[in-house]
Every structure is written in C-alpha cells, then in structure tokens.
Chains A and B, each alone.
Chain A
Amino acid sequence: MASSTSFRVLPGFGLSLGYTLGYLSLIVLIPLAAVFFKAGSLGFDHFWAAATSPRVLASYRLSFGASLIAAGINAVFGLMLAWVLVRYSFPGKRLVDALVDLPFALPTAVAGIALTALYAKNGWIGSLLEPLGIKVAFTPLGVLVALVFIGLPFVVRTVQPILEDLDTEYEEAAVSLGASRWQAFRYVVFPTLFPALLTGFALAFARAVGEYGSVIFIAGNIPMVSEITPLMIITKLEQYDYAGATAVAVVMLIFSFLLLLIINGLQAWTAKRTGRAR
C-alpha cells in the first residue's frame, strides 16, 4: 500500500490529526514552553545561581541518588517477582499479580502517609527496626522506601510479558547441551530479558526522580539532608520565588527529556531483541 499517502480510503484524517495537534499544543506544549521562556528571561547568571545553590544541589544528590538505588532494588526484586508470577503456581498468586499495580492506582499522598505510619518509630515496621538502631521515617532512608514503593510495578510490568512470551525450547536446548539450570538462566534467559529489565529500571528511575506525594510525608524534609528536588520547587513557589522555581524545574525537565530519549532507545532495542528471539 505505497499509495496510501495519496489515496486514503478512511475518512477523518484532517479532523483527528488537527484535533490531536491542537489539544496537544494547548494542554502540553504551550504551557511547557512557558517554563523555558521564563527561564530564558532570567539571564544565565541568575539562572545558574538559582539552579546550583547549595540547598538545591543537596536536593539533586538525594533525589538522583535515592532514585538510582530505588530503581536498582526494584530491578532485582521486580525481576524476581515477575519470574515467580510467570513461572510458578502458588496460592494467592492472582491477588499478588493484581496488587502489583497498586502504586499506579493508589493516590501518592495515601501511599505517603501509610508508609510513614508503618516506618515511624512506633509503626509496625519502624518499631522492629528501632532496636537495631535503624531509623527510616524522616531520614533519607525513608525517601528510598517511598521510591521503591512507587517504582516496583514499572519493572514487573515490563519484564513480565517478555518472560511469558519466552518459549521453553531455548532452555530445553541449553539443558540438553549440558547447561545447568543456572547457566541456562544466566546465558539464555537473562540476555533476552535484559533490555526489558533495563527499560523497567529506567522507567522506575524516571518516575522516582519526579515523585512528590509519596515522599514528602516520610522524608521529614530537613534542609540539606532530606529535601527532594520537587520539594525545592514547592518551597521556592511558597516564597514567591518564581524565577528560582523555574530554574530548578528547567533542570528537571531537561533531565526527564534526556531520560525519555534513552527509554525510547531502550524500547527499540527490546523490540529488536525479542523480535529476533521469536
């Protein structure tokens, strides 16, 4: 159907594309452009000073550091959970499978106060950790806990479909050639999963860096210690420092756009890898 550009059977191209572009511009593109215009009007020195003040720098370290660690934890346990859900049958499996999406469905503020109640000194988990000298709530560790919660489904839901589609033949071939079960996983299954796992990791990381609601309750928000970058934007807005808030927002936006490009590349790689595996 090479002629489809010159001859269209189906109607509605102009209307649907026009509506799509108009709505996209009004809701997303023009407001997003406002941030860059505002940042442009600041002048570079002002922008740089606002985007790299010591308190903001400390928040980058926490936000990016905790998000990386959380995404790493999610990659390990998310892979394990996806594996268990696809490969084994056990009682309660359907319930577990359904609840994996809880962080997508549960409002972040609700997750935030629930995690705080659990990990506070007198909470169910916090009171167990207290005698060990581990404080979670109102410390950077609390930020990590919230980010692990929010990122888990990204890894499970990107790895799971790839695991489900995997034919048993490859592992059978590996075993018939003398591979141990671990070798079959390490050299046959894992390379097939790897692009998807990396994609899930990147998605969890991207979500964690921008996350606000589930973190602020458990973080304690101590300046230079447990303030995340989105909170810095809020703090600056509350002080009517629109320029400062915009500068930090631009840094976050540029970072998320870069990550979006990387994720798109990873997804293309996953498609290629699994396409070949078929």
Chain B
Amino acid sequence: MDCQTYREGSLMAGAAAVLHGTADHAARFESKAATREPGLVKWGLIAISLSFFAFFLLLPLIAVFVEAFRKGWETYFNALLDPDAISAIKLTLLAAAISVPLNLVFGVAAAWSITKFDFRGKHFLITLIDLPFSVSPVVSGLIYVLVFGAQGWFGPWLSDNDVKVIFAVPGIVLATVFVTFPFVARELIPLMEAQGKEEEEAAVVLGAKGWQTFWHVTLPNIKWGLMYGVILCNARAMGEFGAVSVVSGHIRGYTNTMPLHVEILYNEYQFAAAFAVASVLALLAIVTLVIKVWVERQAGKAATVSEDE
C-alpha cells in the first residue's frame, strides 16, 4: 500500500521533476538477448532521439551564450552593469528570498499534516495544493489584479491608505509566491508518505518533544527531498515571467525582474544586451541542474546505506 501511494504521489508531482535514483539500468537490459535490440535499431533510436534533443534543448541553450557574446565582452558587461539591470537583479533576488522560505515552511507544514495524520479529504487537499501548477501563469497574475488592483476587491481601500500592491513590488512577490507554491510540498509529501511515521512515534514514546522529533528524526530523513524542492522552487521564482509580467506594470528600475528586463531589451532590439541578461538566467538554470543531479546522487547513496543497514 505504502509503495503504491508513493508511486501515485510521485507521479502527481509531474509538473515538477521528482527525486529519483540515478542508478544506471542499461547494463541490466543490454546483458540479456531478450531485452537487447540489434545494433542498427539501438543506434538508430539513439541517433533520432539525440537529434531531437539537440534541436529542441541543446541548441537553444548554446544560442543564449553565443548571442550574448556576439558583440564582445564589453557590451556583455555593460549590459549587466547597467543600473536598470542591477535593480532587476536585486528585485529578482528579493522575490526569491521571500517566496522560497514562505513556501518552504508551508511545504513542511503541509507534508507533516498530510503524511503523519489521517483525516478526511486528504486527497482533495493534495489536489488543491497542486492547483497553482495547472493555472496559466498569466491567470495567476490576473487573480491578484482582481483582488488588489485599482478596480479589485481591496483596490479602493488600498488607494485610500496609499498602499500599492499591483504595479509594485508586493504584487511581484505575491505572484511569485503563487507560482512556486506547490514545489516543496509536492516533493515532501510522497517522500514522507513512503517513510511512514514509526520513527517519529518511537521518538515521542521515548520522551522527545515535538520539535526535537522534527529536528532530529524527520529532518535528517527528508533533507535531500527538501533541498530538491527548494532548488526547483528557487529556479522558478527567479525565472517566472507570465505571472510577474501581469502585475509588474514594467516600470524600469522599480518593478522589473530579470526576465522582464530581458523582454524590454529584446523588444527594443538590444539583442546582445537581452541575451547577456538572459545568459545569467541560463547560468542559473545550469547551476540548478547541477545541484539537482548532485542531490539525486546523495539521496541515492543515502537510500543504499539505509538498505544495507
């Protein structure tokens, strides 16, 4: 049963990548005649799928860096050191620095309540947590305009009190929180479901306090899953475009995040500068993927160690 819910849970996370082991399975299949294809079929399939991979994934990534340096290093650094670019970088970091911890705390609380206790409507709650993944980014932005915008629910009250949410920094942070909402929860729920609650129950029976149990028993078990969720959450927070675009109002030097700055430069035909800023975001994506692979490997090691015990 546990195994089945885990599988179901991990598939539900479809919208985010799911932590899975990195063991190489090829040897198992290639060593047996029954599960091996003739060389021609094998290399044919590899050639087709790798060409597809190259055209759709690899080339766009390379193009970002080639275009960024097309006009030389000087243009590149000027684009990054431009005051508008620097304020965009700062706002992007701020939005991530607020939304990632908020959704981290939420993810842990949600996973704790869902996996350690039995209550009615659990599956419905998981579906609700998933909602932001299935909402178009543009709609995610729109809902906050309808709540906090000039014509929205709180619009008149906000303008009476001289508080700006839409076309201002709070709106950008809110939209970022929304689009990154499920990441950590989605990673932790299947993981903690699979681990069960025996270890925590043993700790409590032996006299540990609730927080002690969490810090010393739960956290070490979930740290890799937690980190995995956090890096994916962070990548999305820094890269979000559609939702942030709706609530930003594109005020230069004030409400522009890095992706929005890329758009502005691109629409002004400053291609080299646009790609220079884009290359920083692409670098962030590469770093995210490297950490992700590393976390997978660590989690794989931890799993083998606990199996050996």
Interface: A259 (CB within 8 A): yes
B128 and chain A: residue at smallest CB distance: A24
Asked if residues A110 and B259 are in contact (CB atoms below 8 Å), the reply is: yes
Complex contacts, B125 vs chain A, CB 8 Å:
20-21, 24
Interface: A224 (CB within 8 A): no
Complex contacts, B49 vs chain A, CB 8 Å:
77, 80-81, 83-84
Q: Which of A30, A31, A125, A203 has the most CB of B within 10 A?
A: A31
| Count of A-B contacts judged by CB separation below 8 Å | 353
Q: Which of B28, B53, B201 has the most CB of A within 10 A?
A: B53
Interface: B232 (CB within 8 A): yes
A34 and chain B: residue at smallest CB distance: B146
Q: A-facing mask of B244-281, CB < 8 A → 1, else 0?
A: 01100000000000111011001000010011001001
| Total chain B interface residues with beta-carbon distance under 8 A | 124
Interface: B191 (CB within 8 A): no
A89 to B239 Cα, complex, angstroms: 33
Also in contact, A20 and B242, with CB within 8 A (given A34-B153, A86-B25, A196-B11): no
Also in contact, A4 and B118, with CB within 8 A (given A87-B26, A106-B239): yes
Interface majority SS on B: helix, strand, loop or mixed? helix
B286 and chain A: residue at smallest CB distance: A105
A207 to B242 Cα, complex, angstroms: 13
A207 to B240 Cα, complex, angstroms: 14
Q: Contacting chain A: which of B78-86, B129-137, B219-227, B301-309?
A: B129-137
Interface: B77 (CB within 8 A): no
Complex contacts, A152 vs chain B, CB 8 Å:
56-57
A102 and chain B: residue at smallest CB distance: B57
**Residues from 43 to 70 in B contacting A, C-beta threshold 8 Å:** 45-46, 48-50, 52-53, 55-61, 63-64, 67
A149 to B263 Cα, complex, angstroms: 19
Interface: B76 (CB within 8 A): no
**Residues from 61 to 88 in A contacting B, C-beta threshold 8 Å:** 77, 80-81, 83-84, 86-88
Also in contact, A115 and B138, with CB within 8 A (given A171-B34, A213-B241): no
B144 and chain A: residue at smallest CB distance: A31
Complex contacts, A186 vs chain B, CB 8 Å:
none
**Residues from 63 to 120 in B contacting A, C-beta threshold 8 Å:** 63-64, 67, 105-106, 109-110, 112-114, 116-119
Complex contacts, A209 vs chain B, CB 8 Å:
136
Within 8 Å by CB of B28, from A10, A168, A231, lies: A168
Asked if residues A230 and B137 are in contact (CB atoms below 8 Å), the reply is: yes
Complex contacts, A102 vs chain B, CB 8 Å:
57, 61, 285, 289
Interface: A111 (CB within 8 A): yes
Complex contacts, B105 vs chain A, CB 8 Å:
19
Asked if residues B50 and A96 are in contact (CB atoms below 8 Å), the reply is: yes
Also in contact, A110 and B17, with CB within 8 A (given A12-B112, A149-B56): no
Asked if residues A172 and B32 are in contact (CB atoms below 8 Å), the reply is: yes
Known contacts A102-B57, A108-B239, A229-B136; 12 additional CB pairs below 8 A are: A24-B106, A24-B125, A30-B147, A84-B46, A86-B25, A102-B289, A113-B278, A118-B60, A172-B34, A184-B34, A233-B246, A267-B14
- A sample of 10 cross-chain residue pairs with beta-carbon separation below 8 angstroms, ordered by A number, consists of A5-B118, A16-B112, A27-B181, A28-B131, A106-B60, A110-B262, A174-B34, A212-B241, A246-B146, A256-B134
Where the two chains meet, the residues of A that have a C-beta atom closer than 8 Å to any C-beta of B are 4-5, 8-13, 15-17, 19-21, 23-24, 27-32, 34-35, 38, 77, 80-81, 83-84, 86-90, 93-94, 96, 98-111, 113-115, 117-118, 123-125, 145, 148-149, 152-154, 157-158, 160-161, 163-164, 168, 171-172, 174-176, 181, 184, 196, 199-200, 203, 206-207, 209-213, 217, 229-231, 233-234, 237, 242, 245-246, 249, 252-253, 256-257, 259-260, 263-264, 267-268, 270-271, 274-275
Where the two chains meet, the residues of B that have a C-beta atom closer than 8 Å to any C-beta of A are 3-5, 7-8, 10-12, 14-18, 20, 23-30, 32-35, 37-38, 41-42, 45-46, 48-50, 52-53, 55-61, 63-64, 67, 105-106, 109-110, 112-114, 116-119, 125, 127-132, 134-139, 142-147, 149, 151-153, 174, 177-178, 181, 197, 200-201, 204-205, 209-210, 213-214, 232, 235-236, 238-242, 245-246, 258-260, 262-263, 266, 271, 274-275, 278, 281-282, 284-286, 288-290, 292-293
